[in-house]
């Protein structure tokens, strides 16, 4: 059952979407509590269907070094860290210190604190400053910043690695003309154009929940 309205795509038929969520196995106590907290406090998390996709991509690619841009209370971070296993390292980033301290407590309770490094500040600047490249970069920052996030992330993904971005259909608004002051929709539309034009990326936009774009770097 869809318990949280922010999991609805806005463009998939309700019964189809209910069905997709009904199929999902129950989550453990920490993850369930985070889903409830996110719903009550209107924190937009990826939810369990997209989380399973991230987890699958980490496992099939064998990714160990992961950078997350825009982590909030750490819901997606925990799924990434669990999938990466004990040798994995996930960098959490968020501009909001209160969300970061709540996330740290969840990481401890989920048993993955040792695999996660918490960095507070602007995710784009933090990524620019970080050394080396990453097996996976997951992007979920402010939508108006998506084109800039792409520019920063591209050199930081290793060749053959993945750059994954959430909300690329934006409740269906991405496919319709945007108002000139709708910076979020315009940002997503430009991002979608840029990734499909890029010679360095092989993107697939998956219409799951709010749209997830998975790009392999050539």
Ligand X SMILES: C[S@@+](CC[C@H](N)C(=O)[O-])C[C@H]1O[C@@H](n2cnc3c(N)ncnc32)[C@H](O)[C@@H]1O
CB of 199 to ligand X, least distance (A): 26
Give the helix ranges, DSSP H, for the chain.
Answer: 14-22, 29-40, 47-61, 75-84, 97-110, 123-129, 146-153, 183-197
Take residue 95 and report the two structure tokens written for it: 């501009």
Q: Is 123 in the site for ligand X (CB under 6 A)?
A: yes
Which residues, including other chains, have CB under 8 Å from residue 137's CB and lie 6 or more apart? 66, 67, 68, 69, 127, 153, 156, 157, 161, 162, 163, 164
Taking the least distance from each CB to ligand X, the nearer of 72 and 150 is 72
Taking the least distance from each CB to ligand X, the nearer of 85 and 95 is 95
C-alpha to C-alpha distance for 216 and 218, rounded to whole angstroms: 6
Take residue 156 and report the two structure tokens written for it: 């930081």
C-alpha to C-alpha distance for 197 and 150, rounded to whole angstroms: 12
| Per-residue interface string for the shown chain with ligand X, residues 18-47, x marking contact by CB under 6 A | --------------------------xxx-
Interface with ligand X by CB under 6 A: which range of 81-89, 122-130, 156-164, 186-194?
A: 122-130
CB of 202 to ligand X, least distance (A): 23
C-alpha to C-alpha distance for 69 and 82, rounded to whole angstroms: 18
Taking the least distance from each CB to ligand X, the nearer of 17 and 166 is 166
CB of 128 to ligand X, least distance (A): 12
CB of 218 to ligand X, least distance (A): 26
Task: Tell me which DSSP letter residue 27 carries.
Answer: P
Q: Is 95 in the site for ligand X (CB under 6 A)?
A: yes
Total site size for ligand X, rule CB under 6 A: 20
| Per-residue interface string for the shown chain with ligand X, residues 50-89, x marking contact by CB under 6 A | --------------------xxx--xx-------------
38 backbone dihedrals φ, ψ, rounded to 5°: -65, -40
Q: Is 99 in the site for ligand X (CB under 6 A)?
A: yes
- What residues from 135 to 154 belong to the interface with ligand X (CB under 6 A)? 140-142, 145
Binding residue (CB under 6 A) for ligand X from 9, 93, 165, 185: 93
């Amino acid at each position: 059952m869809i318990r949280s309205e922010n999991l609805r795509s806005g463009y998939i038929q309700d019964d189809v979407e209910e069905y997709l969520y009904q199929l999902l196995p129950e989550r453990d106590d920490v993850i369930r509590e985070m889903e409830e907290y996110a719903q009550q406090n209107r924190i937009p998390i990826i939810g369990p269907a997209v989380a399973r996709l991230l987890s699958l991509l980490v496992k099939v690619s064998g990714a160990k070094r992961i950078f997350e841009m825009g982590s909030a209370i750490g819901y997606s971070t925990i799924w990434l860290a669990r999938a990466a296993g004990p040798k994995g390292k996930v960098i959490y980033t968020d501009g909001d210190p209160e969300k970061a301290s709540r996330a740290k407590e969840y990481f401890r309770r989920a048993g993955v604190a040792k695999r996660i490094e918490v960095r507070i500040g602007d995710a784009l600047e933090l990524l620019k400053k970080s050394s080396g490249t990453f097996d996976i970069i997951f992007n979920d920052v402010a939508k108006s910043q998506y084109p800039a996030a792409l520019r920063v992330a591209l050199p930081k993904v290793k060749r053959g690695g993945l750059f994954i971005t959430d909300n690329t259909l934006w409740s269906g608004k991405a496919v319709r003309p945007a108002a000139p002051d709708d910076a979020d929709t315009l940002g997503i539309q430009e991002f979608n154009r840029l990734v499909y034009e890029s010679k360095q990326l092989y993107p697939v936009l998956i219409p799951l929940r709010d749209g997830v774009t998975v790009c392999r770097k050539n």
